[in-house]
């Protein structure tokens, strides 16, 4: 500790706002963190999670919680045995190669994470599709962002959020749907508060079944019934049509498919929409007028429509009709021409720090590199040529939940899990645990040694974590930032991409002997250079960007060769990414929730983030300071429901769903509507019985 203090610029590892941080360190210890005033995502601000990042690197906590050396056990009931890296890598590669030889490539599944760096993602994706020959690689981003991706592609033609953070200050109406930004994306919500202070006429509309902290700040809270988002959007479009608030010239010049949707929403009268959503008819009228950007007199103001920016997240995405939820909201933007100009457009918020980077490299079961289409033979041939392999497989791989179901059914025999905790975080955890127990080989790369998934693994490879990794991430506004290591990883922990490449090169000896390695990369920059080349000519082209430029400043994609800077807003010319340049309206029927309330199960359960915890709490759960805000799990109910059930605050209750039961305290909450319940998403076995 006699060494002089150092400062390293990097990013926060939690949500998709992608805040820049300055990491203070001495020797191999991180001693502090503060917001980076030069980073355009946060201009120096950090939320409670970002401010405490360094505390999780305290040496005592590292010793108590981190995975520090490779571990193995033949049987999951046996204690872990420490193993040196080289024999561990040899044995894992041999195990995977044996399963590959006996049962084929599709008997192996890789389940990775939106917290991986883009370069790590690139290596894993190439390993699965280029070396093993399977598309069975998917990510926990499947749970949070796949609906947003599909919604963008169906309507605008590409997986590309068209707006940027600056638009928050420029919008006349901010439309927040299915997001408690105040807690889940706190630094971005500070921008909302700034904008409202600077421009008191700006409207904030929040669509959420709960009266969250975000909803409490709104001018208008549409407290919808869970699962009624499509019905709400259709009802708003009906009103816009009836009142003449749509933009027929924009629709005629730049879109297709409006007529079918027009027919669809004929039935979505205010009365019917109010019945389906639970929102008062008068509020529907106000909401439609504000979204359309017309004045109180129903006319387009002289200077043009007031601009509407929608910000949305898991409340839309995590649904049986998540794609339709996204598309029906984008329909409203298209109907009113609210897109492609400062302060207007649809803007999905990413839950994780690099959900977008994973999609950029195609690290999912249904994607190929640089937004290429797995179903397109020409795209597959391009990727195979760039990688130097004979072919990439055409059959889509198993998406996250399907992958674990296939393992539970015996079709997948090896699971390689990286930087995520599916035994806690995937839906239907009983099925996930059955899958893990049935697999012949479960390899887990993790920074923390006691996660729920670790209990079911044969191999635990210690992973580098925040402050110890080198590469890039892409945040919600398509901005690529450098992530830099401030200190070396503790113990024998290694970067995930390095462990993957080490296993891959051993696999090559069995799967493509005598041929040049597919993994020659010496460092993160050389991996990124390969990724950059795959983007040439694609919608996310970054061939004009280089590592030196990224060292100086974070940049948005696209940034094609010859460009002076990245494009922060898309579709300013109203030419969309479809073959004919016209956006598509999506005509989706509203569907009821998959499991509606009934006499046996009279409550709808929703979930969401707490302000100071992150996902499965493997990192934030080690910090006592972050428990001050919500020290224990609870089920929140409307006060009337609590008294109707003859419960008092703090009573311990058993909560049953069709798939399982939990025991936890009950709490009255004015945020809840009657017949609805809320349990925060974070709590696992360590905190909950059941």
Among 22, 23, 33, 46, interactor with ligand SF4 by CB under 6 A: 46
Nearer to ligand SF4 by Cβ, of 45 and 531: the residue is: 45
Report, in Å, the least distance between residue 378 CB and ligand SF4: 38
Nearer to ligand SF4 by Cβ, of 70 and 161: the residue is: 161
Among 17, 91, 108, 485, interactor with ligand SF4 by CB under 6 A: 17
Report, in Å, the least distance between residue 185 CB and ligand SF4: 6
Among 9, 10, 19, 612, interactor with ligand SF4 by CB under 6 A: 19
What would the two tokens of residue 566 be?
């990245």
Stretch near ligand SF4 under the rule CB under 6 A, chosen from 45-53, 86-94, 138-146, 159-167: 45-53
What would the two tokens of residue 84 be?
């040196």
15 touching ligand SF4, by CB under 6 A: yes
Q: Is 396 helix (H, G, I), strand (E, B) or coil?
A: coil
49 touching ligand SF4, by CB under 6 A: yes
What would the two tokens of residue 388 be?
């130097």
Stretch near ligand SF4 under the rule CB under 6 A, chosen from 167-175, 179-187, 265-273, 464-472: 179-187
Report, in Å, the least distance between residue 164 CB and ligand SF4: 16
Among 23, 33, 36, 50, interactor with ligand SF4 by CB under 6 A: 50
Nearer to ligand SF4 by Cβ, of 42 and 225: the residue is: 42
Q: Which residues contact 248 (CB under 8 A, 6 or more apart)?
A: none
12 touching ligand SF4, by CB under 6 A: yes
239 touching ligand SF4, by CB under 6 A: no
> How far, in Å, CA of 52 to CA of 33, rounded?
8
355 touching ligand SF4, by CB under 6 A: no
39 touching ligand SF4, by CB under 6 A: no
CA distances from 324 to 80, 140, 232, 587 (A): 46, 20, 12, 8
Among 91, 187, 495, 666, interactor with ligand SF4 by CB under 6 A: 187
186 touching ligand SF4, by CB under 6 A: yes
Window 213-232: residues binding ligand SF4 (CB under 6 A): none
In 3D space, the residue among 521, 456, 460, 469 whose CA is nearest the CA of residue 495 turns out to be 469
Window 612-671: residues binding ligand SF4 (CB under 6 A): none
Nearer to ligand SF4 by Cβ, of 15 and 361: the residue is: 15
C-alpha torsion 357→359→364→368, nearest 10: -120
Stretch near ligand SF4 under the rule CB under 6 A, chosen from 17-25, 207-215, 406-414, 592-600: 17-25
Among 47, 132, 246, 473, interactor with ligand SF4 by CB under 6 A: 47
Tell the burial category of 264 from Cβ atoms under 10 Å away from its Cβ (0-12, 13-18, 19+).
buried
Nearer to ligand SF4 by Cβ, of 16 and 462: the residue is: 16
DSSP 400-464: HHHHHHHHHHTS--EEEEES--HHHHSSSHHHHHHHHHH-SEEEEEESBTT-TGGGG-SEEEEB-
Nearer to ligand SF4 by Cβ, of 286 and 350: the residue is: 350
Q: Return the percent helix, strand and coil in the chain, to nearest 5.
A: 35, 20, 45
CB 405 within 8 A of CB 432: no
Stretch near ligand SF4 under the rule CB under 6 A, chosen from 46-54, 367-375, 517-525, 575-583: 46-54
Residue least distant from ligand SF4 (Cβ): 50
Helix (H) or strand (E) holding 471: strand 471-474
CA distances from 573 to 255, 341, 342, 384 (A): 13, 9, 12, 34
In DSSP terms, 662 is beta-bridged to: 655
Taking CB atoms within 8 Å and a gap of at least 24, the contacts of 86-95 are: 88/459, 88/461, 89/499, 89/502, 89/503, 89/506, 90/506, 91/459, 92/441, 92/443, 92/459, 92/461, 92/503, 93/503, 93/506, 93/507, 93/510, 94/506, 95/414, 95/440, 95/441
168 touching ligand SF4, by CB under 6 A: no
CA distances from 649 to 364, 406, 636, 643, 653 (A): 44, 42, 10, 9, 11
Nearer to ligand SF4 by Cβ, of 187 and 240: the residue is: 187
> How far, in Å, CA of 361 to CA of 123, rounded?
9
> How far, in Å, CA of 238 to CA of 216, rounded?
27
Nearer to ligand SF4 by Cβ, of 521 and 619: the residue is: 619
CB 93 within 8 A of CB 500: no
Report, in Å, the least distance between residue 48 CB and ligand SF4: 7
Nearer to ligand SF4 by Cβ, of 46 and 205: the residue is: 46
- Residue 287, φ and ψ in degrees, nearest 5: -65, -45
Report, in Å, the least distance between residue 267 CB and ligand SF4: 41
> How far, in Å, CA of 109 to CA of 421, rounded?
15
480 touching ligand SF4, by CB under 6 A: no
Length of the chain: 690
Report, in Å, the least distance between residue 624 CB and ligand SF4: 18
> How far, in Å, CA of 357 to CA of 13, rounded?
13
14 touching ligand SF4, by CB under 6 A: yes
Helix axes 496-511, 85-103, angle to 10 degrees: 50
Stretch near ligand SF4 under the rule CB under 6 A, chosen from 110-118, 163-171, 181-189, 476-484: 181-189
Report, in Å, the least distance between residue 50 CB and ligand SF4: 2
Nearer to ligand SF4 by Cβ, of 590 and 616: the residue is: 616
Nearer to ligand SF4 by Cβ, of 17 and 158: the residue is: 17
527 touching ligand SF4, by CB under 6 A: no
Which strands make up the sheet holding 220-222, listed edge to edge?
A: 220-222, 203-207, 173-177, 308-312, 345-348
Report, in Å, the least distance between residue 72 CB and ligand SF4: 34
Binding-residue pattern over the window 75 to 114 for ligand SF4, x denoting contact by CB under 6 A: ----------------------------------------
CB atoms within 10 A of CB 80: 16
Nearer to ligand SF4 by Cβ, of 254 and 615: the residue is: 615
Query: Where does this chain bind ligand SF4 (CB under 6 A)?
Result: 12, 14-15, 17-19, 42, 46-47, 49-50, 185-187
């Amino acid at each position: 500790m006699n060494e002089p203090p150092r400062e390293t610029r990097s990013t926060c590892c939690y949500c998709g706002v992608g805040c820049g941080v300055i990491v203070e360190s001495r020797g191999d210890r991180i001693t502090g963190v503060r917001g980076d005033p030069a980073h355009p995502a946060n201009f120096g601000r950090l939320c409670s999670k970002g401010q405490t990042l360094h505390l999780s690197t305290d040496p005592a906590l590292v010793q108590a919680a981190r995975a520090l050396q490779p571990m193995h056990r033949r049987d999951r009931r046996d204690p872990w045995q420490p193993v040196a890296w080289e024999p561990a890598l040899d044995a894992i590669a041999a195990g995977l190669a044996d399963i590959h030889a006996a049962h084929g490539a599709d008997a192996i599944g890789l389940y990775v994470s939106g917290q991986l760096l883009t370069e790590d993602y690139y290596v894993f994706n190439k390993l699965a599709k280029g070396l093993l020959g399977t598309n069975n690689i998917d990510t926990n981003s499947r749970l949070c962002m796949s609906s947003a991706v599909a919604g963008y592609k169906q309507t605008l033609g590409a997986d590309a959020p068209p707006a940027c953070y600056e638009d928050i200050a420029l919008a006349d109406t901010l439309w927040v749907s299915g997001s408690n930004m105040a807690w889940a994306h706190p630094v971005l919500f500070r921008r909302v508060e700034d904008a409202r202070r600077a421009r008191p006429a700006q409207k904030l509309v929040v669509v959420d079944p709960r009266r969250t902290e975000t909803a409490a700040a709104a001018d208008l809270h549409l407290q919808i019934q869970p699962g009624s988002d499509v019905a709400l959007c259709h009802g708003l479009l009906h009103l816009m049509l009836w009142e003449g608030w749509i933009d027929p010239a924009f629709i005629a010049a730049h879109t297709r498919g409006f007529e079918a949707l027009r027919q669809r929403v004929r039935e979505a009268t205010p009365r019917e929409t109010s019945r389906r959503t639970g929102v008062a008819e008068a509020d529907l009228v106000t909401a439609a007028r504000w979204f359309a950007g017309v004045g109180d007199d129903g006319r387009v103001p002289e200077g043009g429509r007031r601009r509407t920016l929608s910000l949305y997240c898991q409340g839309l995405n995590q649904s049986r009709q998540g794609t339709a939820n996204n598309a029906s909201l984008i329909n409203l933007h298209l109907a009113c021409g609210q897109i492609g100009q400062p302060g207007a457009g649809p803007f999905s918020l990413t839950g994780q720090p690099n959900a977008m980077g994973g999609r950029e490299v195609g690290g999912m079961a249904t994607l190929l590199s640089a937004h290429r289409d797995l179903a397109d033979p020409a795209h597959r041939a391009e990727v195979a040529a760039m990688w130097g392999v004979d072919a990439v497989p055409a059959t889509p791989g198993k998406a996250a939940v399907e992958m674990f179901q296939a393992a539970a059914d015996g079709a997948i025999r090896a699971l390689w899990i990286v930087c995520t905790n599916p035994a806690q975080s995937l839906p239907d955890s009983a099925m996930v645990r059955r899958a893990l127990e049935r697999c012949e080989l479960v390899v887990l790369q993790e920074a923390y040694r006691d996660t729920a998934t670790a209990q079911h693994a044969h191999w635990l490879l210690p992973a580098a974590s925040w402050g110890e990794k080198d590469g890039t991430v892409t945040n919600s506004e398509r901005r690529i930032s450098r992530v830099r290591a401030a200190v070396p990883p503790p113990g024998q922990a290694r970067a995930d991409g390095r462990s993957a490449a080490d296993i891959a090169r051993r696999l090559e000896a069995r799967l493509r002997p005598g041929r040049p390695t597919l993994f020659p990369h010496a460092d993160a920059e050389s991996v990124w250079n390969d990724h950059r080349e795959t983007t040439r000519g694609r919608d996310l082209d970054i061939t004009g960007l280089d590592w030196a430029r990224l060292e100086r400043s974070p940049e948005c994609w696209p940034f094609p060769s010859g460009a002076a800077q990245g494009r922060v807003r898309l579709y300013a010319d109203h030419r969309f990414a479809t073959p004919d340049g016209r956006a598509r309206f999506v005509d989706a029927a509203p569907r009821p929730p998959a499991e509606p309330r009934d006499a046996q199960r009279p409550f709808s359960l929703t979930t969401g983030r707490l302000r100071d915890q992150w996902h499965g709490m493997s990192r934030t759960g080690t910090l006592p300071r972050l428990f001050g805000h919500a020290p224990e799990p609870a089920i929140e109910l409307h006060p009337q429901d609590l008294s109707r059930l003859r419960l008092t605050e703090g009573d311990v209750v058993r909560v049953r769903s069709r798939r399982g039961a939990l025991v936890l305290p009950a709490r009255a909450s004015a945020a809840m509507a009657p017949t609805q319940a809320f349990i925060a998403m974070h709590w696992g076995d360590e905190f909950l019985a059941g």
